[in-house]
Homo-oligomer: A and B are copies of this chain.
Amino acid sequence: MAGSIDRLLEKRTRLLGPNVPIFYRDPVHLIKGEGVWLWDADGRKYLDCYNNVPHVGHCNPRVLEAIYQQASMLNTHTRYLHEGMLDYIERLTATMHSGLTTAIMTCTGSEANDIALRMAEAVTGRRGIIATDATYHGNSTLVSQLSRSNAPAGGFGLQDYFRHVVAPDSYRQSDPDGLLFADAVTATIAELQKSPHGFAALIVCPFFLNEGFPSQTPGWLKPAAQVVRKAGGMLICDEVQSGFGRVGDHFWAYEKQQVQPDIVVLGKPMANGHPVGAVVSSLDSISAFRKSYRYFNTFGGNPVSCAAATAVLDELKDQQLMVNAQRVGTYALERLRVLQKKHDCIGDIRGSGLVFGAEMVNDRTSKQPAIELTDDVVNAMRHKGILLSKLGRHKNTLKIRPPMPFSTENASLLFDTLDEVLSEL
């Protein structure tokens, strides 16, 4: 099928333009998925250790059925009355702390973060936003400014409102109780307070996933949350990647951090791949936003989206997938510990629930990131039928974040193969 791959790559260049991200040196042409498995056009089977969007498994029958049933009945915008969105928001907010009662439904996490930042502006009357320097929160004009790598120029001059603090890195910079991070936030708040923009919000993924999910003690984010509150700012937790039981011990990663965010942002896994996102906050904050903006989202909160999102909650509960995430995550860390003893290139191992990985280094003393080696590992694994990726500031951390039904047997295959690959490289 090499001819078919070449033809698809030619069509991509012509129809999509340049600089469109694609995985692997030999890209994969997928045609089928089921649970934690994917198949390519040649019938080859892959273990999916990467995709968090199909949260309850590729082509999950319950989600599929929910979409089909509701799409057969009705799919409209929300200017009519319908139970779907209301029942879903009631169930969703019941999983969160008591201050989070009200929601705006969107189609993507980007749309949700785009609202969250304006909500902080509407509530505080200020515009200065702080994020980490190795994060990603989406692709709109406004939120793309949160990534230092994604919007270096242009973007209608919005970079002025954004400040970046150094992302936590438990492997290289000891900060056991989060005080160093809180100090950096304090200094950046002071900087913004001296600017005409003032300080509106700190936005973080409470598991710092794109940053390489540093190891943190429970409550690590509390000191930072306290300085944010003290300065009259809002804490926005972007749970797009870390939420819905992914981290195993809690349904939301902010609970692990023992903080109560003012705004929670949701996306990717929310409806197993159906385009759904949301902003959850207090009635007061949502009201402040809705007084500034006559916001309406044509597709947001439609009955089909809500049926899909509801099926995800049902499946998480009935299949006890958070418990599974914790059990398999614990097993994964044990296996990683064994591999670390055997392979010197594994500098650090980290993770919680079904997000885990290994940071690859050229040498454990200097901790120099093994960037090329990591890339080689990712590509070698692909050729052995295991799909994963890499992330972090240096892109030298293996990013393993499979669908939630991932089992210990699946993890066993993953680590047996990783052992092989590391032995061969």
List residues of A whose CB falls within 8 A of some B CB. 5, 8-9, 11-12, 14-23, 27-33, 38, 51, 53-54, 58-59, 64, 67-68, 71-83, 85-86, 89-90, 93, 101-104, 107-111, 114, 117-118, 121-122, 127, 139-142, 144, 149-158, 161, 267-268, 273-275, 283, 286-287, 289-299, 302, 304-305
Contact = CB atoms under 8 A, between A and B. Distances in A.
A109 B108 CA distance: 12
Contacts of A19: 287, 290-291, 294
B290 A18 contact: yes
13 contacts: A8-B82, A14-B101, A19-B287, A38-B76, A51-B76, A51-B77, A59-B74, A64-B68, A75-B273, A139-B297, A141-B142, A154-B293, A267-B298
A353 to B, nearest CB: 20
B29 A107 contact: no
Q: 10 shortest A-B CB distances, which residue pairs?
A: A17-B286, A275-B299, A29-B81, A19-B290, A141-B142, A275-B275, A107-B107, A75-B273, A107-B275, A11-B86
Contacts of A299: 53, 107-108, 273, 275
Contacts of A149: 294
A298 B51 contact: no
Nearest to A301: B16
Nearest to A109: B298
Given A82-B29, A118-B141, A299-B275, A153 B292 contact: yes
Contact of A72 (B59, B118, B121): B59
Contacts of A16: 85-86, 89, 102-104, 286
A127 to B, nearest CB: 6
Nearest to A305: B275
Contact of A73 (B28, B31, B89, B161): B31
A83 to B, nearest CB: 7
A54 B296 CA distance: 18
B298 A30 contact: no
A403 to B, nearest CB: 11
A72 B64 contact: yes
A67 B67 CA distance: 9
Given A102-B17, A299-B107, A27 B80 contact: yes
B156 A161 contact: yes
A127 B275 CA distance: 30
A111 B109 contact: no
Given A17-B290, A122-B154, A267-B298, 6 more contacts: A14-B102, A21-B296, A23-B79, A31-B73, A59-B74, A64-B71
A65 B79 CA distance: 26
B75 A118 contact: no
A156 to B, nearest CB: 6
A34 to B, nearest CB: 9
B154 A156 contact: no
Contact of A294 (B21, B32, B74): B21
B90 A75 contact: no
Nearest to A150: B294
A112 to B, nearest CB: 11
A335 B83 CA distance: 38
Contacts of A30: 74, 76, 80-82
Nearest to A86: B11
